[in-house]
Structure 1
Amino acid sequence: MTSKALNICILENGQTPADLADDFGSYPAMIERWIAPFLPEATFTYVSPVQGEALPSPHTYDGYILSGSKYSAYERAPWMLSLMEFLQELKALQIPVFGICFGHQIMADAYGGQTTKAKQGWGVGAQLYEYVNDAGPKAAASYIFHQDQVTTLPPDSVCIGGSSHCRNGVLAYDFPALSVQYHPEFTADYIRALATKFRGSLLPDAVSEGALDSIECLEVDSSQIANWAASFFRKHAQR
């Protein structure tokens, strides 16, 4: 049986640091490289709210993926407020959406939860994520780079996974929405570049050192996350 063609929109909420962009590409490009092999029937379009591009009419696409960002969801910049309204529209129309890092957080805020700066501090590197029963993929290490966390769950959500650093790390909703705090689209080389670039400035030395060590100690394979996300879009996408 041939899967129907899907049109997926990736919303760019943040930009790769300029000095790393040539080597690693944009965040939407990273996301497409990650999921496209597992969703070959999909065509991907990029829209950049963070750069001021207008959000599409919700029905333009079969589903949406929200990228990460250096910004915090609680900043409530105008483009974030528009994005939150857009997410409410997607919920009302039952159009599937998958959030990553900042995407995970802005979805939680849009749907009645709360994101705050984490008391635990920065989470950077590779970390083991575990899932509730069979609600998500098998336990595995994932790459993380975040200082904020979802601290209050939205009323229509359930936490189905997390880590020792981030308890509310994977959320499923009672409408077509999933989100993850980690970055399945990141590679070891990109995390290594970030941990090195921001060492001693954005990141304390100890955090960067721990991140670099974790990359060597924990093997990350994001293919099962890609397969899970692809199955989500196949199940829920509507034209």
Structure 2
Amino acid sequence: MKLGILETGAPPEDIRGRFGGYPGMFRKLLGEQAYDYAVFDVQAGRMPQGADACGAYVVTGSSAGVYDPEPWIEPLMDFLREAKGKLPLVGVCFGHQIMAQAFGGKVIKSPKGWGVGLHRYRLSETRDWMDSAEPIAIPASHQDQVVELAPGARAIGGSEFCPNGMIDYGEARAISIQLHPEFEPAYAKALIENRRGTRYTDEEADRAVMSYEQPDDRLRVGAWLQRFIEQG
């Protein structure tokens, strides 16, 4: 299968050399040989010619907000609306947010502040591409949140901090998650250190870094995404 990665952002420049970009992180999570990957640099205006250019799409994270006046955001939402219901769509972090916004939900900069570190979500419902209803612990790095669901969408996982943390769009053949299964702990910690003192206080950064001493469910959730994609 040809899997399209809609690249909407990049790691900070001073740590990118060590960890690479987001498409590489997704290739590692899903398997380097699992798909014929096609990367589209959405921020540079490069979009698929049409939804049928690939068999499925993943929308990456970004430092942008869906409400920002960036020239590439509206075309991306148009593309997601075109692809909706035709093939599997997976959104992660910003991808989670822009999918919600494109399909009729609402995203805001949350007054709760930053969610950073290893976050745990409860699962309120299960799907056949999941293995169980056991909670998941995955890296978080976001301030924006989905606060209103699109018509037909269901929140199937989340936390008190982020109630709409995992969304299933049912017959629209789309799922999304606010967390980052593609972030290895080493990258997640480097990102926190990069933002220490600017986005996060020392206390927040220390607490977030320490959270990565616990085991995570990245690979488990990566397998979920892969099963969802392959079910078509």
Please confirm whether the aligned pair reaches a TM-score higher than 0.5, indicating the same fold.
yes
Query: 1:102 matched to which residue of 2?
Result: 94
Amino acid in the other structure paired with 1:219: P
**Is residue 223 of structure 2 the alignment partner of residue 227 of structure 1?**
yes
Of residues 100, 106, 115 in structure 2, which corresponds to 1:114?
A: 106
1:114 Cα offset (Å): 0.6
TM-score, structure 1 length as denominator? 0.91
Of residues 206, 210, 215 in structure 2, which corresponds to 1:213?
A: 210
Cα distance in 2 for residues equivalent to 1:212 and 1:124:
9
* Cα offsets for 1:47-89 (capped at 9, x unmatched): 1111222333110100000000001011142200000000000
1:221 Cα offset (Å): 2.8
Cα distance in 2 for residues equivalent to 1:133 and 1:84:
27
Query: 1:127 matched to which residue of 2?
Result: 119
Amino acid in the other structure paired with 1:220: D
Query: 1:190 matched to which residue of 2?
Result: 187
Q: Give the unaligned 5+ runs of structure 1.
A: 1-5
TM-score, structure 2 length as denominator? 0.93
Cα distance in 2 for residues equivalent to 1:160 and 1:76:
30
- Secondary structure of residue in 2 paired with 1:75: coil
1:143 Cα offset (Å): 0.3
Amino acid in the other structure paired with 2:109: K
Q: Identity percentage over the alignment? A: 35
**Is residue 12 of structure 2 the alignment partner of residue 20 of structure 1?**
no
Cα distance in 2 for residues equivalent to 1:31 and 1:14:
13
Query: 1:152 matched to which residue of 2?
Result: 148
**Is residue 162 of structure 2 the alignment partner of residue 180 of structure 1?**
no
Query: 1:46 matched to which residue of 2?
Result: 39
Count matched residues.
227
* Cα offsets for 1:17-73 (capped at 9, x unmatched): 111111101011111111126xx5411111111122233311010000000000101
**Is residue 80 of structure 2 the alignment partner of residue 87 of structure 1?**
yes
Segments ≥4 residues shifted beyond 6 Å: none
Query: 2:25 matched to which residue of 1?
Result: 30
Cα distance in 2 for residues equivalent to 1:133 and 1:51:
37
1:179 Cα offset (Å): 0.2
Amino acid in the other structure paired with 2:24: A
1:207 Cα offset (Å): 1.9
Q: Give the unaligned 5+ runs of structure 2.
A: none
Cα distance in 1 for residues equivalent to 2:34 and 2:190:
32
Amino acid in the other structure paired with 1:182: L
